[in-house]
Amino acid sequence: MTCSAIPQTDAYVFASTREDAQQSALPVWDEHALDELRAIGGDELVKTVVRQSLKDAEDRISELRQLKPGQPLSSWHESVHGLHGVVVSLGAVRLSQIVAEALDLDKLDQAQSYAVEFAQQLSEVRHILAAFLI
């Protein structure tokens, strides 16, 4: 399935769970994010990369949810940095912005709320990318 096969409607621009109007104005997903990958290896490569990237993102979010206040902040930054790379490669525009903000976290007391937000946003991205996995 090509990017052009995904309906271009406002249904694919979900409201952010954050109150930040700037973030909610960002699209959930960049419809052209996978075009270069498709040009290199076709639809099967896109399917493989999307599946693996979604799994990697879920794994990073799981790691982040397990962190507790008092643990080294470096663990947070390593996992968030890894998550950021994955979501950027998927074209998850809004999630990549939220993850980039989380890189600046200086205490783990906000970590759980960020991890919940990441999971919610990833769910929206997964919904959109489901068309690629058929």
> What single-letter DSSP state applies at residue 5?
G
- Give CA–CA dist 100/83, Å, rounded: 10
Per the structure block, which two tokens stand in for 69? 């206040």
The answer to whether the CB of 6 falls within 8 A of the CB of 131 is yes
Write out pLDDT tens, residues 51-85.
Answer: 999 999 999 999 999 998 889 999 999 999 999 99
The answer to whether the CB of 131 falls within 8 A of the CB of 101 is no
The answer to whether the CB of 79 falls within 8 A of the CB of 63 is yes
Please report the domains of the chain, with CATH numbers, ordered by start residue.
3-133 (1.20.120)
pTM above 0.75, yes or no: yes
Write out pLDDT tens, residues 16-52.
Answer: 344 454 567 899 999 899 999 999 999 999 999 999 9
